[in-house]
Homo-oligomer: A and B are copies of this chain.
């Protein structure tokens, strides 16, 4: 799988990231490409979830994946191998997040002309990615059971920014002290409009619900 394309993305030259993000969103609307920004802690299961989700969606949409990482291209290789979709690696040059300019560079490089849906796997980090609008059409995050149910209290911004919170690794609920009800309440306190879907990317439980959520979001986005 050495044919994975890797590009280096650098901090945007634009002073106003929000302006640039809005411009990118308008451009994507015009092109008809729906971009999903996926955030989580390291090891919450972004790549495994994406793999299962893409396999549930790839008959309906032409999908691309951009895997952001500080170093390494293990995720892009894994996605390409396990889904067959177009996948590139973005190296952030040590940066802890992606901004709209970096996202635009990645999209130019993957070439969105033949893509309906692009997943952007952000750097594994609950802090900085939440502070920078990437210009994506939708922001989602994964919280995994082993991380603990108190994360909405400790990393409020990322929960406030997300349209969808996926709670992953629910197959391990019995091994960890994680209260799903309490966690839901804490997420809702930060963001009453957030959709919350518990899944196990490992067993596949809940993946169909997430796929259904995306289909609805993309349909609404196209119609509006």
A82 in contact (CB, < 8 A)? no
Most buried by B among A69, A75, A148: A148
Are A169 and B154 within 8 A (Cβ)?
Answer: no
Are B42 and A126 within 8 A (Cβ)?
Answer: yes
- Within A77-134, the residues touching B (CB, 8 Å) are 94, 96, 123-128, 131
Residues in chain B near residue A125, CB distance under 8 A: 96, 125-128
A172 in contact (CB, < 8 A)? yes
Chain B residue nearest to A75 (CB atoms) is B154
Taking residues whose C-beta sits less than 8 angstroms from the other chain, chain A's interface range is: 20 to 34
Docked Cα-Cα span, A42 to B169, in Å, equals 15
For the complex with contacts A71-B156, A72-B154, A74-B150, 6 further pairs of A-B residues with Cβ separation under 8 Å are A71-B153, A72-B150, A74-B154, A96-B125, A125-B125, A146-B172
Of B74, B127, B153, B172, the residue contacting A153 (CB under 8 A) is B74
Residues in chain B near residue A69, CB distance under 8 A: 154
Are B123 and A70 within 8 A (Cβ)?
Answer: no
A144 in contact (CB, < 8 A)? yes
Chain B residue nearest to A92 (CB atoms) is B127
